Amino acid sequence: MNPVSELAFFTQLIRLGSLAATARELNLTPPAVSKRLAQLEQRLGVRLLNRTTRSISLTAEGELYLNSAQRILGEIEEMERQVSSSRAKPKGLLRVNAPLGFGRTHVCPAISSFVRHYPEVEVQLHLTDRPINLPDDAIDVAIRFGDLPDSRLIARKIAANRRRLCAAPSYLEAFGNPESPKDLMQHNCIVLRQNDAAFGIWRLSRGKQSESVKVRGNLSTNDGEVALNWALEGHGILMRAEWNLASHLSSGRLVEVLSDYETPPADIYAVYLERLNLSAKVSFFIEHLREFFSHKSDGFFPLA
């Protein structure tokens, strides 16, 4: 009896709850099942079960063996699914979540391209103004920016991106161009209230030096497009991800300020639960996103 067969036998015995039920399931006699269990215990040198003629119960060693057996068998099953699904054709329902602005501008056309390649996939796109709690929502893939604190999630970077500080030429003509992060405290800054981040704290660094500046202004919002429009209308300085600014910077409607300082990264990730790691529809979709964004030039950078 090989180790994998022993693991499967023991987990089946516990699932069925008795030697007799296991014997019927395996088309064996109860003495044969009892002998197989005894051989397993003898090989391990511990007693796994307390058993009577009517019931069985786990010993402490048996509980440890069962937990490990279930985990190992699950990993083997996932590995086999990975191998077999490497050539599988994606199909079925795929539920995607993305931020409102980025979802409309970039995820929507990426999905359009994806379903042209894989018409057997049905995609539901949910756009929200704040990140959802992935383990508790019926979502297969979520698009997120920046750091991901939840260790239960797997994140694949689909595009490199960064934040930039900018303002309209009319604002800079009227109020001047900041020369250091501290100068921002004297400017009208358009502040985004998003994702429970520290409100109005802008972090900038140059070399090994890092500064956190508490900025203020008479306009704030939880909507990135509203903040962008205020900046375009000359109301103040804005910190925003480059994907949202690229076209306005290239046209001159916005001008970058403090360009020699680094701001927190805004890299873009596809996030999903570990159990979906081997799903063909998820893996194909994420690879499609990476390929799709690698050919875009409006605010994205090649992945390393």
Task: Please list the residue range(s) of the chain that carry CATH number 1.10.10.10.
Answer: 1-82
Could you name the CATH architecture of 1-82?
A: Orthogonal Bundle (1.10)
Domain with CATH 3.40.190.10 in the chain: 90-159+266-293, 161-254
What mean pLDDT comes out for the span 44-48? Answer: 92
Between 84 and 50, where is the model more confident?
50
- Sequence-distant (≥ 6) Cβ neighbours of residue 141 within 8 angstroms: 94, 95, 96, 97, 270, 271, 272, 276, 282, 285, 286
Q: What is the pLDDT of residue 304?
A: 43
As a CATH number, domain 161-254 is 3.40.190.10
Distances (CA, A) of 142 to 4, 146, 277: 36, 13, 13
Residues 6+ apart with CB under 8 A from 204: 181, 210, 211, 213, 258, 261, 262, 263
* 57-96 residue pLDDT tens: 899 999 999 989 888 888 887 677 666 555 567 888 888 9
Q: Tell how many helices (H) and how many strands (E) occur in the chain.
A: 10, 14
Q: What pLDDT score was predicted for residue 250?
A: 86
Distance (Å, whole) CA 20 – CA 224: 65
pTM of the predicted protein model: 0.58
Query: CATH classification of 90-159+266-293, choosing from 3.40.50.300, 3.40.190.10, 3.40.50.1220, 3.60.110.10?
Result: 3.40.190.10
pLDDT in tens, 187-206: 999 888 765 455 678 888 88
